[in-house]
Structure formats: structure tokens, C-alpha cells
Chains A and B, each alone.
Chain A
């Protein structure tokens, strides 16, 4: 697989899996309004994954659905940050906040990419991310003084670093006020057991009738 396809898949997988994880809050978020907003943001992330899978599909002679659902869990290229099963609000918001900040840095770099197709998709995604960031920043500001939230951010920081390539990490640290040197990043390439569990559920219907036209 060439480098472009690998890059596209790693970002698409991040977006698909965080969208899937966040959708686990549908129906159980702390307030109705937050429930609707959180679910909507989760769906947007899956929409971004779709756009990126389509680019990768052209590269690989596949299609978006096959890339999203027909690979084995170990073939996914997502960072561990998005895989974690965090059914607790402080951690969920800490992840949302860290992921949005990392995604902002990543999209900023992609928009400048010489790959005009990818730069165009990145710009399109970034316009929607403005509202995700607004949501994440509001929550982060609201919970900033809660020790539970601060501890969650600290705990997830090594995972957040792993979302980005080395050269973009200092910018993420600058934005979040955390330090690159304070910890060892949890790099892409290996997965948590949580991803396999998620994959079982996510692909269950599709696997039930292989090759069906839905």
C-alpha cells in the first residue's frame, strides 16, 4: 500500500472510530440537548471518514464501505486514542477536546498539502470542524477546574500525541499547554483490545450476509 493510501486510511479510521465511540452516547448523554449535539457531531465524523475512504478507495481500487467494514481489526490504522471505551463523561470530553485540537493541527497541515485533492477535502472537513471545536472548547472551559477532568486530560495526553506525526506534536502541545517531553507518545500501529470488541459490533450486520447489496 502506498504512502498516500496509508495516510488517508489512518485519518479515515480515526474519524470512523471516534464517530462510532461518540455515538455510544446517543440516548444517555447528560442532557437532551447535549445528546442531540453529541450524536450529530459523531455522525459528522463518520461523514468525514466517508469522504476520506472514498479518496482511498480510488487509490486502492476498492469502495468506501469495504474499507470501513471489510478489513480485519488489525488492518485498521487508527490511533489508540479513538479506540478507548470511555463511558464516563470527564474522559469523554477530555478525549473530544484533545482529538479536536490534534485534528485542527492535522487539518491545518493537510490544507497546505501539495496533494490538491486531499487539501480540498481537508478544507471542507475543517469548515465543519469549526463547530466541533466550539463545542469541545465550551465543555473544556466548563470542566477546566474539575480535578476529574484535568486528570483525564493528563491520562489521555500520551494517546493524543500518537494521533499526530512527530513534526506536528509541538504545535499540539503549544495549543493545549501540555508538554511533548513529559511523556512517551502511544504510537499508531498497535491496537487496544477495545478495538476488536468495537469491530465485532460495528461490522456485525454487514458480516451477517457477506457480499449483500444493502
Chain B
């Protein structure tokens, strides 16, 4: 069985995919993952997810070229600069 390993570096942080582990069952995965992903105190917690339990989505349809729904293609660099300048010129002044 392959387990995908997600690692939380510090309490409260999001879990991030760290790798995978092959084990005969969840108990072995637990024992082995502790040693591989936790022995140096590098993890606050681990999630071990059987690979079969992962529902993957990787097919995307964009038949009608609905580019206008995306933000790429709009150049905002110049407008951002303008906005910044405006913001600094109208900043509250100490009196």
C-alpha cells in the first residue's frame, strides 16, 4: 500500500505534501513515517493518506475560450504604479 504523507511543520500551519511511503498497512506506515518524517523534530503532525483514497481531478474543459474569466492578459503593472503614487501624494500629513 502506498500512503501519501502530508507534513505540518508548525502547529496551526497548513499541511503540505512531503512524499509517500510504501507499507503493508496503516500501522507500519505510522511506524515508518515517524522515523522518516519526524525523527529530527521537523514535523508537528503528519497525515498519512492511502493513495487510493485520494480523489484526483486533472481534466479541464475550456472549449469556448472563456479567457475573459481569467486575470492573465490584463496588465496591471502601470495601473498599480499609478495607484501607489496617488496613495502617497494624498497620504495624511502630520500637522
Contact = CB atoms under 8 A, between A and B. Distances in A.
Given A40-B39, A138-B27, A138-B28, A31 B34 contact: no
B31 interface: yes
Nearest to B40: A40
Interface in B18-59: 21-24, 27-28, 30-32, 34-36, 39
Given A33-B36, A36-B36, A40-B39, A134 B31 contact: yes
A32 B28 CA distance: 13
B63 to A, nearest CB: 44
A36 B29 CA distance: 12
B35 A40 contact: yes
A36 B31 contact: no
Given A131-B34, A135-B31, A138-B31, A33 B24 contact: no
B32 A33 contact: yes
A24 interface: no
A34 interface: yes
A154 to B, nearest CB: 25
Contacts of B31: 37, 131, 134-135, 138
Contacts of A31: 22
Residue with the highest number of chain A CB atoms closer than 10 Å, among B21, B28, B34, B36: B28
A134 B28 CA distance: 9
A61 B30 CA distance: 42
Interface string A143-165: 00000000000000000000000
A34 B35 CA distance: 9
